[in-house]
Structure 1
Amino acid sequence: MTSVVLGSASPARLRVLRDAGLDPSVLVSDVDEDALIAELGDAAPHVVVTRLAQAKADAVVAAILSDDVPAGADCVILTCDSMLLLDGELSGKPHTPDVAIAQWRRMRGTVGHLMTGHCVTRLRDGAVVAAAADHQSTAVRFSDVSDELIERYVATGEPLKVAGAFTLDGLGGWLLDGIDGDPSSVIGISLPLTRRLLRRVDVDVADLWRA
């Protein structure tokens, strides 16, 4: 039986996977994202988010292998990283209200692209036997909302801890005009892309569904 490990602290990603029939355990990766982004320099946006997902996978694998792995253990590790591409610039979690407000004032009335890097790693008998990585880009159409609504949204705290300072499946959904692409990727993890990456490591997603 192949088990699933989600290498992310994101409750949205965990919810997407659980709603889609998986029951992953969670092991949060320890990666200095800012340092890696700086190291990547002028790399293309899709390279940045994919490399971040791969670095998280490496960290989770190292954490798993630091424990005794039972003989015959078989698991797949799912890791992701999301950033918003707007006017050629990538942005992650704003963390502070001032940054979130400034970002929303730039975003309103425009179209950005939520970029999510994905990595699927298969671990068997204490060794990595396969890995596959790619990215998903989804266009997000932001509403031309008022300063007051932006400030009230930011005051909820929701946008401070999510990539791009918005959610699709929370309060932020009220401030979007729509998306063009995969909604699960905007929430945090693309189900279609993850299914394809699983096939590349010789796993059928149906084998991972809860009985």
Structure 2
Amino acid sequence: MSNSPKQRLILASSSPRRQELIQSLGLPYIIRVSDADETVEEKISPAELVEVLSVRKASTVLEMLEANEKEGIIIGSDTVVVYQDEVLGKPVDEQDSFRMLKALQGSTHQVYSGVACVDAATAKQVVSHRVTHVKMKSMSDAQILRYIATGEPKDKAGSYAIQGIGATIVESIEGDYFTVVGLPLSLLSDLLLSFEIQVL
């Protein structure tokens, strides 16, 4: 199947990790950073939350596109960490990072990643999510503080990055690794089939 302009992907994210993952698919793509409001007032499940925000990010980019740019599939994605029914987003400061990492150490939590694909020309959309269980090592307060001092937890859901030095504090995972990184590629490739885009 040829990669026509209609098959290009439009990634609605400024995340370097998601950009690297999109690049790995080998399809033409561009980046359009979404400035979508990520606040959700109503109480919804983590699965619903990541799907709602993924659609919102992609839809925001759709509204930003000029008429002559409306070709391709916009991809929005959102990731949250959930521990004992509490959604852990990005930490507000180092104290918040410490609170999260202290709670997560020595136990298992869930990472939810939503993916939304929106056709820029027709606004047709599909959305789904994946969940992965992550077991953290037990850590001393000193180890947690040293990890925070690396700066890595600063803008990460749950205050860690499994693809960085944070890999050293993860004992095991059950599920899709890329769900934890922030863009489940297997799920994305399935959703793209709805638009007749085949990764393989």
Query: TM-score when scaled to structure 1?
Result: 0.88
Distance 2:92 2:129 in 1: 24
Q: AA paired with 1:53? A: S
1:189 aligns with 2:183: yes
Unaligned runs of 5+ in 1: 207-211
The equivalent residue for 1:209 is none
Secondary structure of the 2:67 match is: coil
**Moved beyond 3 Å, runs of 4+:** none
Paired residue total: 195
**1:14–1:24 CA contact under 8 A, matched in 2:** no
Unaligned runs of 5+ in 2: none
**How much does 1:167 deviate?**
1.0
The equivalent residue for 2:144 is 150
1:21 aligns with 2:22: no
**1:119–1:132 CA contact under 8 A, matched in 2:** yes
Distance 1:54 1:19 in 2: 22
Cα root mean square deviation, aligned: 1.4
Secondary structure of the 1:114 match is: strand
Partner deviation per Cα, 1:139-183 (whole Å, 9 max, x = no partner): 111110111110011111111111111111101001100111101
Partner deviation per Cα, 1:85-117 (whole Å, 9 max, x = no partner): 110011111131110011100000111111011
The equivalent residue for 2:45 is 44
Distance 1:45 1:3 in 2: 30
Residues 101, 77 of structure 1: alpha-carbon distance in 2 compared, 3 angstrom cutoff: same
**How much does 1:12 deviate?**
0.6
Secondary structure of the 1:53 match is: helix
**How much does 1:23 deviate?**
4.4
The equivalent residue for 2:126 is 132
Query: TM-score when scaled to structure 2?
Result: 0.93
Given the alignment, which residue of 70, 77, 82 partners 2:79? Answer: 82
Q: AA paired with 1:32? A: D
Residues 23, 101 of structure 1: alpha-carbon distance in 2 compared, 3 angstrom cutoff: farther
Q: AA paired with 1:83? A: V
- Pairing of 1:88-99 with structure 2 (within 5 A): 88-99=85-96
Q: AA paired with 2:16? A: P
Identity across aligned pairs (percent)? 27
Partner deviation per Cα, 1:17-59 (whole Å, 9 max, x = no partner): 223324421111111112xx22xx2211100110000011110
The equivalent residue for 1:162 is 156
Residues 93, 49 of structure 1: alpha-carbon distance in 2 compared, 3 angstrom cutoff: same
The equivalent residue for 1:117 is 114
The equivalent residue for 1:6 is 11
